[in-house]
Amino acid sequence: MSQTFLGLPTRRRTTDAADEPFGPVPHPQEPLRWGDDFPAAAKQTLKNDQLRRNLGHATQVIRTKRAAVVGEVPDWEALRDAGSAVKQQVMAHLPDLLQQLEENVVARGGVVHWARDAAEANRIVADIAKAKGADEVVKIKSMATQEIGLNEALADEGIAAIETDLAELIVQLADDMPSHILVPAIHRNRSEIRDIFLARMGDAPPDLSDVPRELAMAARAHLRRKFLSAKVAVSGANFAVADTGTLAVVESEGNGRMCLTLPETLVTVMGIEKLVPTFDDLEVFLQLLPRSSTGERMNPYTSMWSGVTPGDGPQEFHLVLLDNGRTDVLADEVGRSALHCIRCSACLNVCPVYERVGGHAYGSVYPGPIGAILTPQLTASTGGVSGHHDPNASLPYASSLCGACYEVCPVKIDIPSILVDLRAREVDADRSSRGVDPWRTAMKAAAWVMADGDRFALAGRAATLGSGLGGRDHAISVAPPPASAWTKARDLPAPPRQTFRQWWQAEHETTPEHEEGAR
C-alpha cells in the first residue's frame, strides 16, 4: 500500500521474528534492502531510549573530535577541493584506470577478478577459500563485503567468516546488523557487550566485567588464536592506486594488519569506484579520511601493499573488482558523485535524523545521509529509485535537507541536492504508475484556480471558512479526507480569517491617495 506524496511514504515489509536475546534485527536476505521502509522503521527505533542515548552520546563525541582536528589544518578546504576533483577525474576515466590497476596488480604477482554482482563476488571468494582448503577465514571490517552479504554466502558453503574488528565481532556474535559505517556496534552499550561476549564468544572469562579495556582484552585473546592459524584473510580496500597497483587499508586496532600480514592468502574485495589515479593522490585522502572519520590526526595503522612481496606477508593475493550496481550510479549525472564517498561516516555523525533514528532504520548496510543517496541508486536496477513498492525509494525522504552532511563531507558530495533529485524521480515514477492520482488531481485543480484572478480570490475567501478549525496554535492536526493525506504526516496551518486581498482592499480603500501616488 502506498500513499506517496510530499510527505513520508508508508510502505511496509514483513520482518522476520526477532533473534532473541540480543538481536532485534535478524540477518537480511538483502544487505541493501531489509526491514520496514524508513518511516515505519524510524517510528520503531524512535521508541528505543537506550539507542537514542547511546547514539546521542557517540555522535556528539565524534563531532567534537572531528571539529577539533579539522580546525587545526590550515588548508582543509584546499584538500577538500582536491579530493573532490580527484574523484571526478577517477569517474571520468574509470575504464582506463581500472585496466591500469589490473595491469599493475598482475605485474606484481596478484590475481584480478571481476564481479558483476554480489553473487559473483561471493562465488569468487568462496572458490578461493575452498581451493586453499580453508573452512575458516579471518575478515577485516569492510563495507563492500557487508554489501554483498559475503559472510552468509560463505556460511552456506561451510566456511566460517570471522569478523576481527571489535565492533564487527560484537555485531556478529549478537547475530545483529551494523548500525554505523565506522562504529557498527554503537547502538550497544558496555553491559550489553559483556552479555554478548559471555553468551556467544565461547572462551570469554566467566568473571568478565563491563569495563571496555577488559572487553577489548577478551577480544584480543579470542582473536589472536584465530590470527595465528588462519590460512585465508578477506579484506576491503580504502584506496587502490591505479598507477602502482597499491592497495591501502586504514584501521585502528591492528586486526587489519594481522589479516593483511599473517595468512598465506589474501582476498581483497573492492568497489570499482575506490581508485585513485596516482600514488601521490594518497597525500590528499590520507589527510581527509582519518580526521573526518574518527576525528584523529591519523588513524593508528595504515597498511599498503602492491601485489605480493616475496617473503613478507601473503604469498597469494586476489583482488575482486565489484560492480554490484555501481555502474547504475555512475550513469546518473546528478547522483554519480555518491561514488566519490570514502566511507568516513562524518555525514552520519552530523545528521539530526541519523542521530535520532539510528542506523537500522535505513534498512541498508549504508545508513545515514550517504546511505540515503547510495542505497536507492545501488539498487536502481531492482527498483531502488523508482520502485513503487520498494522501501529504498523512501530513503531520500530521511532528511531535513539541513545541509550539514555537505558541510562536513571531505570530498564535497552535495548530498542534499542528490536527495532532492531522487525525491523528484520517486514522485515522477509514482505518478506514472497510478491511474488516478489524488495529489496530481489536486495540483491540476489548484493550477486552474490560480490561473484566473477572480477564481483565485473566490477560492481564497472560501478558504477563510476553515479559519476556525485550528487549535490554539492555529494548526490542524487531524483533517477529513482528502486533506487527511497531508495531516497524517504533518500539521496544516489553519487558514487566516481574512485573505491577503481582503486585507489589501481594506487598507487601501481607507487611504486611496497612496494607490494613486504609486501609479
Instruction: Name the residue nearer to other proteins (CB basis): 155 or 228.
Output: 228
Amino acid letter, 372: A
Q: How far is CA 75 from the centre of its chain?
A: 28
Single out the residue of 303, 345, 364, 375 in contact with other proteins (rule: CB under 8 A): 303
Single out the residue of 6, 92, 131, 443 in contact with other proteins (rule: CB under 8 A): 92
Instruction: Name the residue nearer to other proteins (CB basis): 314 or 495.
Output: 314
| Dihedral class, residue 495 (left if φ above 0, else alpha if ψ from -120 to 50, else beta) | beta
What strand order describes the sheet that includes 265-271? Answer: 110-115, 316-322, 265-271, 232-235, 136-139, 160-163
CB 65 within 8 A of CB 273: no
Under rule CB under 8 A, residue 289 binds other proteins: no
Under rule CB under 8 A, residue 254 binds other proteins: yes
Under rule CB under 8 A, residue 203 binds other proteins: yes
Single out the residue of 221, 443, 446, 458 in contact with other proteins (rule: CB under 8 A): 221
Q: Which stretch binds other proteins (CB under 8 A): 3-11, 39-47, 245-253, 504-512?
A: 245-253
Instruction: Name the residue nearer to other proteins (CB basis): 152 or 243.
Output: 243
Instruction: Name the residue nearer to other proteins (CB basis): 342 or 476.
Output: 342
- Rounded Cα–Cα distance for residues 245 and 161 (Å): 26
Grid cell of 349 as nine digits: 555523525
Under rule CB under 8 A, residue 81 binds other proteins: yes
Residues 29-58 touching other proteins, rule: CB under 8 A, are: 54, 57-58
Grid cell of 369 as nine digits: 545521509
Single out the residue of 232, 240, 258, 404 in contact with other proteins (rule: CB under 8 A): 258
Residues 460-519 touching other proteins, rule: CB under 8 A, are: none
Single out the residue of 70, 275, 286, 373 in contact with other proteins (rule: CB under 8 A): 286
Instruction: Name the residue nearer to other proteins (CB basis): 37 or 168.
Output: 168
- Under 8 Å CB-to-CB from 401, ≥6 apart: which residues? 416, 419, 420
DSSP 302: E
- Under 8 Å CB-to-CB from 273, ≥6 apart: which residues? 90, 91, 94, 326, 330, 339, 340
Kindly state the smallest distance separating residue 154's Cβ from other proteins, in Å: 19
Q: Smallest Cα–Cα separation from 269: which of 172, 161, 184?
A: 161
Under rule CB under 8 A, residue 167 binds other proteins: yes
CB 360 within 8 A of CB 61: no
Under rule CB under 8 A, residue 70 binds other proteins: no
Under rule CB under 8 A, residue 342 binds other proteins: no
Residues 259-278 touching other proteins, rule: CB under 8 A, are: 260-262, 272
Under rule CB under 8 A, residue 302 binds other proteins: yes
Kindly state the smallest distance separating residue 259's Cβ from other proteins, in Å: 10
- Rounded Cα–Cα distance for residues 243 and 107 (Å): 12
Mark residues 352-381: x for contact with other proteins by CB under 8 A, - for none: ----------------------------xx
Q: Smallest Cα–Cα separation from 263: which of 119, 128, 158, 118?
A: 128
- Rounded Cα–Cα distance for residues 389 and 407 (Å): 32
Single out the residue of 56, 71, 158, 205 in contact with other proteins (rule: CB under 8 A): 205
Residues 312-341 touching other proteins, rule: CB under 8 A, are: 312-313, 321, 323, 325, 327-328, 330-333, 336
Under rule CB under 8 A, residue 68 binds other proteins: no
CB 339 within 8 A of CB 91: yes
DSSP 321: E
Single out the residue of 200, 279, 457, 502 in contact with other proteins (rule: CB under 8 A): 279
Residue showing cell 570530498: 411
Under rule CB under 8 A, residue 199 binds other proteins: no
Beta bridge partners of 112: 319
Kindly state the smallest distance separating residue 20's Cβ from other proteins, in Å: 22
Single out the residue of 13, 130, 220, 434 in contact with other proteins (rule: CB under 8 A): 220
Q: Which stretch binds other proteins (CB under 8 A): 14-22, 296-304, 368-376, 420-428?
A: 296-304
Residues 94-123 touching other proteins, rule: CB under 8 A, are: 94-95, 98-99, 108, 113-116, 120
Under rule CB under 8 A, residue 246 binds other proteins: yes
CA 164-145-255 angle, to 5 degrees, is: 20
CB 260 within 8 A of CB 235: yes
Q: Which stretch binds other proteins (CB under 8 A): 16-24, 25-33, 307-315, 408-416?
A: 307-315
3-state secondary structure 5-73: CCCCCCCCCCCCCCECCCECCCCCCCCCCCCCCHHHHHHHHCCCHHHHHHHHHHHHHHHHHHHHHHHCC
CA 330-144-385 angle, to 5 degrees, is: 45
CB 443 within 8 A of CB 451: no
DSSP 333: T
Instruction: Name the residue nearer to other proteins (CB basis): 156 or 283.
Output: 283
How many residues bind other proteins (CB under 8 A)? The answer is 110
